[in-house]
């Protein structure tokens, strides 16, 4: 199950809230999982200007906090947009969650580029 927060603002202990999901077996785009669960993926600009999930805008960045093993490898589009970014950052529209053998929980930080 996913849950969401309005913006990634640090809590009183300085840590940032995260969103969580349980990936059932089978492949699904992280972007679709987030949209299906009404989790806001984009900041204001990306909300209006995103490419619709074709890997062409780089506005759907998320940070994978946990569950990396459930995901596909970084795609060509991600290598381009996330070249100098942390390994844990992904484009949600290029990230596939789960496969026939794997299921489990994925924990995601939205808009990691907003963190200070």
Query: How many residues line the site for ligand FES (CB under 6 A)?
Result: 11
* Residue with Cβ nearer ligand FES (22 or 32): 32
What strands lie across the sheet with 61-66, from one edge to the other? 19-23, 104-110, 61-66, 89-91
Measured from the CB of residue 51, what is the shortest distance to ligand FES in angstroms? 4
Adjacent-strand bridge partners of 107: 20, 66
Q: Is 71 among the residues that bind ligand FES (CB under 6 A)?
A: no
Q: Is 111 among the residues that bind ligand FES (CB under 6 A)?
A: no
**Contact 80/87 with Cβ under 8 angstroms?**
no
* Contact flags string 26-65 toward ligand FES, x per CB under 6 A: ------------------------xx-x-xxxxxx-----
Please state, in angstroms and rounded to a whole number, the distance separating the CA atoms of residues 12 and 60: 27
CA 46 to chain centre: 14
Measured from the CB of residue 81, what is the shortest distance to ligand FES in angstroms? 7
91, 97, 106, 111: which one binds ligand FES (CB under 6 A)? 91
Please state, in angstroms and rounded to a whole number, the distance separating the CA atoms of residues 27 and 94: 12
- Please report, as ranges, the residues that interact with ligand FES according to CB under 6 A: 50-51, 53, 55-60, 91, 93
């Amino acid at each position: 199950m996913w849950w969401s927060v309005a913006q990634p603002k640090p809590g009183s202990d300085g840590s940032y809230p995260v969103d969580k999901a349980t990936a059932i077996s089978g492949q699904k785009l992280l972007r679709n999982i987030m949209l299906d669960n009404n989790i806001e993926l984009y900041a204001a600009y990306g909300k209006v200007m995103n490419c619709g999930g074709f890997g062409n805008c780089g506005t759907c960045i998320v940070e994978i906090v946990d569950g990396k093993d459930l995901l596909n490898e970084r795609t060509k589009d991600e290598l381009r947009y996330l070249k100098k970014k942390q390994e844990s950052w992904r484009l949600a529209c290029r990230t596939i969650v789960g496969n026939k053998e794997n299921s489990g929980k994925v924990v995601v930080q939205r808009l990691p580029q907003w963190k200070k």
